Amino acid sequence: MAHECTMCGACCVAPDIAALDKPLGLRCPNLGEDSRCLAYEARPAVCRSYSADELCDLIAAPTIEERVKKYLAHFGLDEEAARVKATGLTSRARVLERFTRSATATHG
């Protein structure tokens, strides 16, 4: 069954978007206050290929904050998103940081 985009903005906040270097749970810098993409014509392929689906119905809520919270909880990402928000580091950045520290400690 096809779903229409409700322009709720959750897909522009909750997931990480590597093509935009956008971390998990943080608002895309291209998302306007009206929940419309400010870079719509130049948006990356990952955004162009995204289609609204049943998840949009599952996370329906009155505010974007509530929708994002439901999205993250649905995928078990709420704790990681809280860490990203608190530290500014994504999982990949934390792994790279640990690797760099380990390599520096080992090789001097």
Answer for the pair 13, 27: CB distance below 8 angstroms, yes or no. yes
Q: Is pLDDT at 21 greater than 90 in this prediction?
A: no
Of the two residues 105 and 87, the one the predictor is more confident about is: 87
Among 31, 19, 28, 16, CA closest to 89 = 16
pTM above 0.95, yes or no: no
The band of 88, judged by pLDDT with boundaries at 50, 70 and 90, is confident
| pLDDT value at residue 5 | 86
| pLDDT value at residue 93 | 60
* Distance, CA of 95 to chain centre: 18
| pLDDT value at residue 72 | 95
Q: How far apart are CA 41 and CA 56, in angstroms?
A: 23
| Residue 13 CB contacts under 8 Å (≥ 6 apart), including other chains | 25, 26, 27, 28, 31, 64, 68
Task: Give percent helix, percent strand, percent coil of the chain, each to the nearest 5.
Answer: 55, 5, 45
| pLDDT value at residue 47 | 93
Q: What is the pLDDT of residues 51-87, one digit of tens each?
A: 999 999 999 999 999 999 999 999 999 999 998 889 8
